[in-house]
A and B are shown apart, each in its own frame.
Chain A
Amino acid sequence: MQLTNILEYLEKTAPEVPDKVAYASEEYSVTFSEVYRNSRAIGSFLAARGYYREPVVVFMYKQPATVVSFYGVVYAGCAYVPIDEEMPKHRIELIFENLKPRAVICDERTKPMVEAFEFGFDGEVFTYAEMVKTEPDDEALAHIRSEQIDVDPIYMVFTSGSTGVPKGVAACHRSVIDYIENLTDVLGITRDTVFGNQTPLYFDACLKELYSTIKYGATTWLIPHNLFMFPIKLVEFLNEHKINTLCWVVSALTMISAFKTFDKVKPLYLHTIAFGSEVFPIKQFNLWKDTLPEAKFINLYGPTEGTGMCCFYRADRRFEEDEVIPIGGPFHNTEILLLKDDNTLAAQGEEGELCIRGTSVTLGYYNNPEKTAECFVQNPLNTHYPEIIYRTGDIAKRNERGELIFVSRKDYQIKHMGHRIELGEIEAVVNRFDEIKICCCIFDDEKKKIVLYYVGEIDKPALVTRMKEKLPRYMLPNVTEKLEQMPFTANGKIDRTGLKKSYIAGRK
């Protein structure tokens, strides 16, 4: 029968490889039978308390049990919302305001943090340890399953919003199944795959490892975040655990190649390297390619709203320094439309907004019909029946071979260390401080620095300390500059272009 629930991957695989390690960290690991048993225990626990068809927050540090909790929430017929201990409280508060969750799953370390939330969360707080003591209730779980269909949401992940309020992208079984089927086909995932996970569990990026692992009976190592600062230790970790497949953001890969790490130590088992979220500097890409000439390199492209990735390109050769690695073409069962300003299709070589059509388009932003309506829109090429496409805001074009090339953004969204950031969100947060008169964020594309200019009665150290309380780590400006007054253009807008020019001239 047709696959309609993401948990069917686990139910097929667990009996085949019960004692194999599914997810591992430096501290401990869980086998497939443990994942199966414990996620059903969590599902039963939630079901017995009446949680159904609603968001359940998973607030745990990055560890194998976090993944088990995700599946547990789905077993209960609910949608999981991953929150991270490193998220500032203010951001968590905004997310809770949007979701109005009734329950949070914690571990021993995060439980006191939830209890200390100043905004006063009055729902129930459960710990993973107490939940897994529940005996799985087969009958209750079977009943829930019989009522589930493949357009029911399984998660909400929050992404940067330009007004200062993060947006929760909701995705359903069908989109994730479509994604995993096609992604694993392109990457060539098998039971022998050993993933080294880099991306945080609170973004869609980790879907690649988590769901591919239960589909194939592969293994995923959760790599300690700290190692991504220390290239030799990182490569040694890959070798120690015989990791052969990576799906990393580009900055994590270049951290290794840029410091001549390969002269000292080489990855011994790697054969598949997927990368994305940023443009790969060609010099660094070629270093990887030369070090691992037999390995498969695949460029992935896609927004959270398109269930992770929607395009891929097999980078099977060296590139010249002036070339750009294409984002290629869509996965099977997805179509990419390049729409010009007049909503007609761009011809080859012409630029257009990259729009996604297909099952990979997610359900929209949770509890946010206004923002959803802005970019989940009727396909303008189809006037005959309802058909939603997602407008990414990315400008792209097709080269002479028909391959898609990323050109730029339509707005002030940037990619920084693999994270998607709205510069407007940083500005909105800073502008809310009483001492601030006005501020403006620019991005130095070449040096990859977020630069904040501000006018106000606060010195730099104090402002940075305040920002740390409100913004996630990866959104903190890398350079903060106080100005006597903000430059304006003739028609009264902040002169962003001028600021950027003078910043770049100043650093040279």
Chain B
Amino acid sequence: MDELLEILEELHPEVDFNTCTRLVDDKIIDSFDIVTIITEVNNTFDVAIPAEEIIPENFNSAQALYALIERLEEEG
């Protein structure tokens, strides 16, 4: 989780990713951020987030995104 927070905080140092659960809904992250996050997650965790998982629910909070990474790691 710390590694993921590092990726997110690099993109948006002004956001508290421990508490925010409306990253997409409140337009805090945009499409550039999503592309960057997917690329960085791939580099750091060695998981490829497939297109069908690129949905708002998986990107609205750091927790949701981390849960997705864990699930993909298990499936991997």
Q: A residues touching B (Cβ–Cβ < 8 Å)? A: 226, 228-233, 251-252, 255, 258-261, 263-264, 417, 448-449, 460-462, 464-465, 468, 473, 478-480
User: A278 CB to closest chain B CB, in angstroms?
Assistant: 12
Interface of A is mostly: helix
B24 touches A231 (CB 8 A): no
B35 touches A231 (CB 8 A): no
B51 touches A417 (CB 8 A): no
For the side of the interface on B, what is the size category? 20 to 34
Task: Give chain A residues whose Cβ lies under 8 Å from the Cβ of B32.
Answer: 251, 417, 448, 478
Q: How many angstroms between the C-alpha atoms of A232 and B35 in the bound complex?
A: 14
In the assembled complex, B31 has its CB within 8 A of some CB on chain A: yes
Q: How many angstroms between the C-alpha atoms of A260 and B50 in the bound complex?
A: 7
Q: Which residue of B lies closest to A262 (CB)?
A: B51
A478 touches B24 (CB 8 A): no
Task: Give chain B residues whose Cβ lies under 8 Å from the Cβ of A258.
Answer: 35
Which listed residue, B34, B38, B52, B59, touches A264 by the CB 8 Å rule?
B52
In the assembled complex, B12 has its CB within 8 A of some CB on chain A: yes
A229 touches B51 (CB 8 A): no
A260 touches B51 (CB 8 A): yes
Which listed residue, B36, B38, B49, B59, touches A478 by the CB 8 Å rule?
B36
In the assembled complex, B13 has its CB within 8 A of some CB on chain A: yes
With contacts A230-B56, A259-B38 known, what are 8 further pairs, Cβ within 8 A?
A226-B56, A229-B24, A229-B34, A229-B54, A232-B51, A232-B54, A264-B50, A478-B36
Q: How many angstroms between the C-alpha atoms of A460 and B55 in the bound complex?
A: 29
Q: Which residue of B lies closest to A261 (CB)?
A: B51
User: A385 CB to closest chain B CB, in angstroms?
Assistant: 47
Q: How many angstroms between the C-alpha atoms of A448 and B36 in the bound complex?
A: 10
Q: How many angstroms between the C-alpha atoms of A465 and B29 in the bound complex?
A: 14
Which listed residue, A233, A251, A261, touches B55 by the CB 8 Å rule?
A233
- Asked whether A478 and B30 contact (CB < 8 A) given A259-B49, A259-B50, the answer is no
A229 touches B13 (CB 8 A): no
CB-defined A-B contacts under 8 Å, sample of 21: A226-B24, A229-B24, A229-B56, A230-B55, A230-B56, A231-B54, A232-B51, A232-B52, A252-B31, A255-B31, A258-B35, A259-B38, A259-B50, A263-B51, A417-B32, A448-B32, A449-B36, A465-B14, A468-B14, A473-B30, A478-B32
